[in-house]
């Protein structure tokens, strides 16, 4: 019997320029470039134990044994790694997040980043972080970004079919600017339509998908340029536009992630701007509103979002480090 163990920690990330849509070929290559901020708000710790005596992969998440789709998705990543490394042992995966999953914020980003790094570490593979990011991307593209600290870009995949490595990379360290992301949790947020399905339906059916594909790289370039010169207002305006355009393309076919609370929180953000506090909203595949602001304005932003009826919790998130290998005992 051979046993090999490794563990890793990864933080979530929130995209400020959004990935929404995939290239129309195998391999989970994004159709749009994205730019994210790695955040300390949610941390996932994962331990992977390859054991030649196991008959199948096992996956325990926050103390509960998983079956069906969640386990299959974990198994797919492990199988990619088994093929790449010539291993045939199954693995036991134990993962836990420090944020209550019921709040609906638990993201696949920190999960697949931690899993990829823990599994590569367990097998003792001498992989560069870019290769680990590519492995995570094939399971969930947003996870490719969580391997890195601070502001991170994941380019779009090439237009022509490829099987090449496509990884994220850091564009600015976490202390490049002192900006915060305030998360307004809008109810329990269990997703009606997951992000994979939502973007696939948008790309197949939305009359506005072509417009989104046209606009997204331009907004992305605007964000990147504004970040380089630390222009908060320009960066924030493009952030909000990216989220609104992405959701417009989805809403056009009835893929609606927003609730009444989302709209009220958006309006609170607009009111803040009208009264001189620079704050800009972004929204992912759920009802929660994440508000980008300067550190000095974080308190006033938190106060205004807490006052929105239906907002159950407000979390102030800061830029965090990328994923890292941790001692196996650190996974509860």
Residues in contact with ligand DP6 by CB under 6 A are: 15, 18-20, 28, 34, 108, 140-142, 195-196, 284-285
Residue 22's nearest CA partner among 11, 14, 10, 34 is 34
Question: Min. distance of Cβ 211 from ligand DP6 in angstroms?
Answer: 17
Closest C-alpha to 135, from 185, 64, 70, 81:
81
* Least Cβ distance, residue 138 to ligand DP6 (angstroms): 9
Q: Residue 284 Cβ, how far from ligand DP6 at the closest point, in Å?
A: 4
Instruction: Between 95 and 140, name the residue whose CB sits nearer to ligand DP6.
Output: 140
Number of helices (H), then strands (E), belonging to the chain: the values are 8, 12
Question: Smallest gap, in angstroms, from Cβ of residue 224 to ligand DP6?
Answer: 15
* Burial of 278 per CB tally in 10 Å (0-12, 13-18, 19+): middle
CB of 295 to ligand DP6, least distance (A): 23
Gap between the Cα atoms of 135 and 139, Å rounded:
7
Distance CA 304, CA 299 (A): 9
Q: Cβ closer to ligand DP6: 285 or 323?
A: 285
Decide whether 15 or 298 has the Cβ nearer to ligand DP6. 15
Radius of gyration in angstroms for the set of CA atoms belonging to the chain, rounded to a whole number = 19
Q: Which is nearer to ligand DP6, 74 or 123 (CB)?
A: 74
Nearest approach, Cβ of 108 to ligand DP6 (angstroms)?
5
* Residues 170 and 149 sit within 8 Å (Cβ to Cβ): yes
Q: What six digits make up the tokens of 286?
A: 């759920």
Q: Tokens standing for 192?
A: 């009606």
CB under 8 Å to 18, separation ≥6 — which residues? Answer: 32, 34, 216, 242, 243, 246, 282
- Distance between CA atoms of residues 40 and 47, nearest Å: 20
Our CB check for ligand DP6 shows the closer of 62 and 196 to be 196
Chain-centre distance for alpha carbon 16: 11
Q: Which is nearer to ligand DP6, 168 or 314 (CB)?
A: 168
Q: Kindly tell me which of 34 and 224 has the beta carbon lying closer to ligand DP6.
A: 34
Q: DSSP label at 68?
A: H
Pick between residue 20 and residue 99 the one whose CB is nearest to ligand DP6. 20
Torsion from C-alpha of 20, 29, 170, 148, nearest 10 degrees: 90
What's the closest the beta carbon of residue 214 comes to ligand DP6, in angstroms? 17
Q: How many Cα atoms are found within 13 Å in the side-chain-facing hemisphere of 26?
A: 2
Instruction: Provide, rounded to whole angstroms, the least separation between the CB of residue 34 and ligand DP6.
Output: 4
């Amino acid at each position: 019997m051979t046993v090999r163990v490794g563990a890793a920690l990864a933080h979530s990330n929130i995209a400020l320029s959004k990935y929404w849509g995939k290239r129309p070929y195998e391999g989970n290559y994004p159709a749009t470039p994205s730019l994210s901020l790695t955040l300390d708000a949610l941390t996932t710790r994962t331990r992977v134990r390859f054991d030649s005596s196991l008959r199948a992969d096992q996956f325990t998440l926050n103390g509960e044994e998983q079956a069906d789709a969640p386990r299959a998705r974990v198994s797919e990543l492990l199988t990619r790694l088994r093929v790449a490394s010539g291993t045939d042992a199954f693995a036991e995966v134990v993962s836990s997040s420090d944020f209550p999953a019921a709040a609906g914020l638990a993201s696949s980003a920190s999960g697949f980043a931690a899993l990829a790094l823990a599994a590569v570490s367990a097998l003792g593979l001498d992989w560069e972080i870019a290769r680990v990011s590519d492995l995570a991307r094939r399971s969930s593209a947003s996870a490719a970004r969580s391997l890195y600290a601070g502001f991170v870009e994941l380019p779009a995949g090439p237009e022509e079919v490829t099987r090449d490595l496509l990884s994220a990379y850091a564009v600015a360290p976490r202390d490049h600017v002192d900006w915060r992301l305030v998360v307004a949790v809008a109810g329990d947020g269990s997703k009606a339509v997951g992000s994979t399905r939502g973007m696939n339906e948008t790309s197949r059916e939305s009359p506005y998908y072509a417009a989104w594909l046209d606009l997204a790289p331009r907004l992305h370039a605007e964000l990147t340029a504004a970040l380089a010169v630390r222009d908060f207002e320009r960066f924030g305006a493009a952030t909000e536009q990216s989220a609104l355009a992405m959701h417009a393309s989805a809403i056009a076919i009835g893929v609606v992630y927003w609730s009444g609370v989302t709209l009220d929180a958006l309006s609170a953000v607009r009111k803040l701007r009208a009264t001189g506090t620079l704050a800009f909203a972004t929204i992912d595949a759920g009802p929660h509103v994440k508000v980008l602001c300067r550190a000095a304005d974080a308190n006033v932003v938190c106060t205004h979002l807490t006052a929105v009826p239906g907002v159950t919790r407000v979390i102030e998130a800061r830029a965090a480090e990328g994923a890292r290998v941790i001692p196996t005992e650190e996974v509860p």
